């Protein structure tokens, strides 16, 4: 079966819940937030990304929630992993997720500034790593894309008969291909809306990649969700 046929068959065999989870939700949430920010009233814009500090908005906090879920799943995966190699890989993923969560939360500085009444404009110093310059954020984004390309788009189509079992455990389903497609759709809409010259609160000026980051974190959430689902099925099978 060709890759195209496999992807097509997977799409046709997915349940409505799987369609909702794998592509309807990320597209709907991403597009709604983009429309609220660009075409909505000021109060809608401030829900998505407040003028005072975008870090306190719904968009950024959805990213934080997804990362937190990934961290919690990683703990469960590590605790129940029976193989040393898998434990090491999961531990690495755990620390990477904690690092990204701390980065997204600006190591708590935006909350401290909020309680002190200091706006983002009044404290322009970047205390995290990924906002130190355009090259830094590009490196991190392209690293994320490389991981998605290898594990999400390529590995599901590689024959695994002679591969170690831990690689099989790290291989997601073809269903995640549709989440990657949703990433492309969500990432382009904010730029299209920006070109339409809507009045905004300017909080996301130069930071439209936040919409893209939201779906990237959603992809990693689904990746770990599938891993823990496979682990639980294996545990139940062993117990039976």
pLDDT per residue of the chain (240 residues) written in tens, 0 to 9: 688 999 999 999 999 999 999 999 999 999 999 999 999 999 999 999 998 888 889 999 999 999 999 999 999 999 988 889 999 999 999 999 999 999 888 877 767 766 766 666 556 656 666 565 556 677 777 888 999 999 999 999 988 777 788 888 889 999 999 999 999 999 999 999 999 999 999 999 888 989 999 999 999 999 999 999 988 887 777 666
CA distance 83 to 86: 5
Could you tell me the two tokens for 7? Answer: 């992807």
pLDDT of residue 71: 97
pLDDT of residue 211: 96
pLDDT of residue 57: 94
The continuous run of DSSP H or E covering 75 comes out as helix 58-80
Under a CB-based contact definition with an 8 Å cutoff, are residues 154 and 146 in contact?
no
In 120-170, where does DSSP find H-type helix?
134-147, 165-169
Under a CB-based contact definition with an 8 Å cutoff, are residues 67 and 104 in contact?
yes
pLDDT of residue 82: 81
Under a CB-based contact definition with an 8 Å cutoff, are residues 219 and 179 in contact?
yes
pLDDT of residue 165: 80
Place of tokens 């939360």: 105
Backbone angles phi, psi at 152, to 5 degrees: -90, -40
pLDDT of residue 132: 59
Buried b (16+ CB within 10 A) or exposed e, 219-239: bbbbbbbbbeebbeeeeeeee
CA distance 123 to 159: 52
Under a CB-based contact definition with an 8 Å cutoff, are residues 33 and 211 in contact?
yes
Could you tell me the two tokens for 197? Answer: 């010259």
Q: Could you give the count of Cα atoms lying within 13 Å of 120 in the half-sphere of its Cβ?
A: 17
């Amino acid at each position: 079966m060709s890759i195209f046929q496999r992807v097509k068959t997977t799409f046709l065999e997915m349940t409505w819940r799987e369609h909702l989870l794998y592509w309807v939700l990320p597209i709907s949430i991403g597009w709604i937030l983009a429309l609220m920010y660009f075409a909505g009233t000021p109060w809608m814009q401030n829900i998505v990304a407040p003028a005072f500090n975008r870090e306190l908005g719904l968009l950024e906090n959805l990213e934080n929630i997804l990362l937190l879920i990934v961290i919690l799943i990683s703990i469960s995966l590590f605790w129940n992993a029976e193989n040393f190699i898998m434990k090491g890989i999961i531990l690495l993923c755990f620390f990477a997720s904690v690092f990204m969560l701390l980065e997204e939360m600006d190591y708590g500085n935006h909350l401290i500034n909020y309680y002190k009444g200091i706006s983002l404009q009044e404290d322009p110093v970047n205390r995290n790593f990924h906002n130190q310059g355009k090259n830094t954020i590009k490196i991190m984004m392209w690293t994320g894309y490389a991981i998605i390309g290898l594990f999400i788009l390529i590995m599901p189509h590689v024959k695994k008969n002679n591969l170690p079992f831990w690689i099989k455990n790290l291989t997601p389903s073809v269903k995640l291909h549709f989440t990657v497609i949703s990433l492309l759709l969500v990432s382009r809409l904010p730029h299209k809306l920006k070109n339409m010259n809507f009045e905004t609160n300017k909080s996301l000026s130069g930071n439209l990649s936040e919409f893209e980051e939201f779906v990237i974190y959603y992809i990693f959430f689904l990746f770990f969700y599938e891993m823990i689902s496979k682990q639980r099925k294996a545990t139940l099978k062993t117990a039976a």
